[in-house]
Amino acid sequence: MEQSNKSRKRLILWIVAAVVVFDLIVAALALLAFLEPAHYRPVRLGIDEQEVAAKQFYHRMMDFDDLAQSNTPFEFVVTSDLVNRSLASMDEIAAMVPGGQSGRVQEIAAAADLRDPAVVIRDGKITLMIRSDRLGVVVSGDLSPTIDSQGRLAVPLTAVRVGYLPVPEALIRHQISRTRDRLVALHSAHQADKDVPGSEVSTDLASMAANYSLRMIVAALDGKPIVPEGSYRHHRIRLVAIEPADDKITIRVVAMPRQPAQPAAAPSAVAPGPAASQTSVQSSPATTQSR
């Protein structure tokens, strides 16, 4: 009987100990999730500062525009400071794009209970972070862009965290699939609306930036490489290197030769018969009019 009581007490102690350990683990995980990452430092700007940052972003894009038209290889550097100031000024930047609406970006983010995006660039990774008001946490994801031996760009999503707590891939796969579908729909809408009347330079830059950004994000979610090449104005350019390190992204771009135009087919030497003569006569007024 005494032995049975000892066994029962021992079992109760084990259960209590297991419950205490489980509670400690849950508390530790919750602490990791709700702690704000030390390197999360979103930029917050006033209205006047946003206008200045939007103009800086625009002028930097003009620099890219000039280099892209030079038809020579070039290197382009984007600092994390420029990226974060631009993220804090997305409403003003959106208003500068033909067809854009001031305040629209903030409305979309607020509808999703998201705010204060930030980017950290270091050690070959681009870490994207944003605060979720609904969850009360900072969510971050690591992108590791690389270009393989075949010249294809891959931007894999290598890690996702809530606070400091790593999120298992199985838990985020469904959300990634939903996000990808939304981005594909957004890309399709952009392709349909890219010929917005307005400044040619602004439209080209907005179209190129939106197209490549969406393509890279979708490729990252898919885990598939893409060919980083496209037409820009009267040139065709290709990204050959991308190096995120030391609070900046350095990209190297080269001009690609265009495919030569196919020669027009030579007219067949057929003697004009009555039907041909009639066709020729009927075509003459139209030809004259087009001239």
Give me the residue label for tokens 């705010």: 115
Q: What is the pLDDT of residue 138?
A: 92
Greatest C-alpha distance within the chain: 124
170-177: long-range contacts (C-beta < 8 A, 24 or more apart)? 176/221, 177/221
- 32, 163 in Cβ contact below 8 A? yes
Which residue ranges make up each domain of the chain? Answer: 9-36, 39-256
Q: What is the pLDDT of residue 235?
A: 75
| Gap between the terminal Cα atoms of the chain | 115
b/e map of 252-285 (b: 16 or more CB within 10 Å)? Answer: ebebeeeeeeeeeeeeeeeeeeeeeeeeeeeeee
Name the residue type at position 22: F
Q: For each of the chain's 291 residues, which pLDDT tens digit applies?
A: 566 666 766 777 777 677 777 666 766 666 667 788 889 999 999 989 999 999 999 999 889 888 888 888 999 999 999 999 999 998 888 887 766 667 777 777 777 788 899 999 998 999 999 998 888 889 898 989 999 889 898 888 888 898 888 887 776 666 666 666 666 665 566 555 544 444 343 444 455 555 555 565 666 566 678 888 877 667 788 999 999 999 999 999 998 766 555 555 555 444 444 444 443 333 333 433 433
Q: What is the pLDDT of residue 291?
A: 37
Edge to edge, the sheet with strand 235-245 lists 74-79, 248-256, 235-245, 229-232
Q: What is the pLDDT of residue 75?
A: 95
Residue 66 CA to residue 15 CA, distance in Å, equals: 70
SS3 139: strand
Q: How far is CA 236 from the centre of its chain?
A: 21
